[in-house]
Homo-oligomer: A and B are copies of this chain.
Protein backbone atom coordinates (compact mmCIF):
# COMPACT_ATOMS: atom_id res chain seq x y z
CA UNK A 1 0.00 0.00 0.00
CA UNK A 2 1.53 3.29 -1.13
CA UNK A 3 1.63 6.37 1.07
CA UNK A 4 -0.05 9.58 0.00
CA UNK A 5 3.25 11.42 -0.16
CA UNK A 6 4.90 8.74 -2.19
CA UNK A 7 1.96 8.53 -4.52
CA UNK A 8 1.93 12.18 -5.56
CA UNK A 9 5.58 13.06 -5.33
CA UNK A 10 7.28 13.32 -8.67
CA UNK A 11 10.81 14.00 -9.81
CA UNK A 12 10.40 17.73 -10.25
CA UNK A 13 9.71 18.07 -6.53
CA UNK A 14 13.31 17.26 -5.88
CA UNK A 15 14.35 20.18 -8.07
CA UNK A 16 11.72 22.51 -6.64
CA UNK A 17 11.95 21.34 -3.04
CA UNK A 18 13.37 24.63 -1.76
CA UNK A 19 10.71 26.70 -3.48
CA UNK A 20 7.89 24.52 -2.22
CA UNK A 21 9.21 24.56 1.33
CA UNK A 22 9.61 28.34 1.28
CA UNK A 23 6.03 28.76 0.10
CA UNK A 24 4.79 26.30 2.70
CA UNK A 25 6.34 28.33 5.49
CA UNK A 26 4.81 31.57 4.25
CA UNK A 27 1.31 30.15 3.81
CA UNK A 28 -1.37 31.51 6.15
CA UNK A 29 -3.03 29.10 8.52
CA UNK A 30 -5.49 26.53 7.25
CA UNK A 31 -8.17 28.27 9.29
CA UNK A 32 -7.52 31.68 7.73
CA UNK A 33 -7.63 30.35 4.20
CA UNK A 34 -10.80 28.42 4.98
CA UNK A 35 -12.51 31.51 6.37
CA UNK A 36 -11.41 33.52 3.36
CA UNK A 37 -12.93 30.98 0.97
CA UNK A 38 -16.12 30.92 3.05
CA UNK A 39 -16.40 34.69 2.78
CA UNK A 40 -15.99 34.67 -0.98
CA UNK A 41 -18.50 31.83 -1.25
CA UNK A 42 -21.03 34.27 0.17
CA UNK A 43 -20.19 36.78 -2.56
CA UNK A 44 -20.39 34.03 -5.18
CA UNK A 45 -24.12 34.17 -5.78
CA UNK A 46 -25.99 36.57 -8.04
CA UNK A 47 -28.89 37.06 -5.65
CA UNK A 48 -26.61 37.93 -2.74
CA UNK A 49 -24.50 40.24 -4.87
CA UNK A 50 -27.65 42.06 -5.93
CA UNK A 51 -28.88 42.32 -2.35
CA UNK A 52 -25.56 43.71 -1.15
CA UNK A 53 -25.44 46.15 -4.00
CA UNK A 54 -28.96 47.33 -3.28
CA UNK A 55 -28.30 47.71 0.43
CA UNK A 56 -25.23 49.77 -0.36
CA UNK A 57 -27.57 52.27 -1.99
CA UNK A 58 -30.28 52.29 0.65
CA UNK A 59 -31.63 50.55 3.70
CA UNK A 60 -34.48 48.28 2.63
CA UNK A 61 -36.99 45.81 4.03
CA UNK A 62 -37.31 42.20 2.90
CA UNK A 63 -40.38 42.94 0.87
CA UNK A 64 -38.69 45.81 -0.97
CA UNK A 65 -35.82 43.54 -1.95
CA UNK A 66 -38.25 40.88 -3.13
CA UNK A 67 -39.97 43.35 -5.44
CA UNK A 68 -36.71 44.91 -6.60
CA UNK A 69 -35.17 41.57 -7.54
CA UNK A 70 -38.49 40.01 -8.59
CA UNK A 71 -38.08 37.12 -6.20
CA UNK A 72 -39.99 35.42 -3.41
CA UNK A 73 -39.84 36.94 0.07
CA UNK A 74 -38.81 33.52 1.28
CA UNK A 75 -35.88 33.29 -1.09
CA UNK A 76 -34.72 36.77 -0.08
CA UNK A 77 -35.11 35.94 3.59
CA UNK A 78 -33.02 32.79 3.21
CA UNK A 79 -30.22 34.74 1.55
CA UNK A 80 -30.39 37.51 4.13
CA UNK A 81 -29.81 34.83 6.74
CA UNK A 82 -26.60 33.82 4.99
CA UNK A 83 -25.48 37.44 4.78
CA UNK A 84 -26.35 37.97 8.44
CA UNK A 85 -24.28 34.95 9.48
CA UNK A 86 -21.35 36.28 7.47
CA UNK A 87 -21.74 39.60 9.30
CA UNK A 88 -22.21 41.45 6.06
CA UNK A 89 -25.64 42.90 6.87
CA UNK A 90 -27.37 44.09 10.00
CA UNK A 91 -31.04 44.80 10.69
CA UNK A 92 -33.40 46.85 12.81
CA UNK A 93 -37.06 46.14 13.49
CA UNK A 94 -39.73 48.78 13.17
CA UNK A 95 -43.02 47.16 14.06
CA UNK A 96 -43.55 44.26 11.73
CA UNK A 97 -41.10 45.59 9.18
CA UNK A 98 -37.43 44.53 9.30
CA UNK A 99 -34.99 46.94 7.70
CA UNK A 100 -31.67 45.57 6.48
CA UNK A 101 -28.49 47.52 5.81
CA UNK A 102 -24.81 46.87 5.20
CA UNK A 103 -22.63 45.97 8.17
CA UNK A 104 -19.28 46.33 6.43
CA UNK A 105 -17.53 49.19 4.67
CA UNK A 106 -15.21 46.91 2.73
CA UNK A 107 -17.89 45.32 0.57
CA UNK A 108 -17.81 48.11 -1.99
CA UNK A 109 -14.00 47.89 -2.10
CA UNK A 110 -14.08 44.17 -2.73
CA UNK A 111 -16.74 44.58 -5.42
CA UNK A 112 -14.73 47.34 -7.09
CA UNK A 113 -11.60 45.18 -7.20
CA UNK A 114 -13.68 42.42 -8.74
CA UNK A 115 -15.09 44.72 -11.40
CA UNK A 116 -11.60 45.92 -12.27
CA UNK A 117 -10.60 42.33 -12.95
CA UNK A 118 -13.68 41.67 -15.06
CA UNK A 119 -13.30 44.80 -17.15
CA UNK A 120 -9.58 44.31 -17.69
CA UNK A 121 -10.09 40.77 -18.93
CA UNK A 122 -12.96 41.90 -21.10
CA UNK A 123 -11.08 44.27 -23.37
CA UNK A 124 -8.26 41.76 -23.61
CA UNK A 125 -10.84 39.68 -25.45
CA UNK A 126 -12.59 36.56 -24.24
Whether A27 pairs with B54 at a CB distance below 8 angstroms is yes
Residue A49 at the chain B interface, CB threshold 8 Å: yes
What separation, in Å, do the CA atoms of A23 and B104 have in the docked complex?
19
**Secondary structure at chain A's binding surface: helix, strand, loop or mixed?**
helix
Q: Which of A24-64 contact B (CB under 8 A)?
A: 24, 26-28, 32-46, 48-50, 53-54, 57-58, 60-61, 63-64
Which residue numbers of A lie inside 8 Å of B, CB to CB? 4-5, 8-10, 12-13, 16, 19-20, 22-24, 26-28, 32-46, 48-50, 53-54, 57-58, 60-61, 63-64, 66-68, 70-73, 87, 97, 104, 106, 109-111, 113-118, 120-121, 124, 126
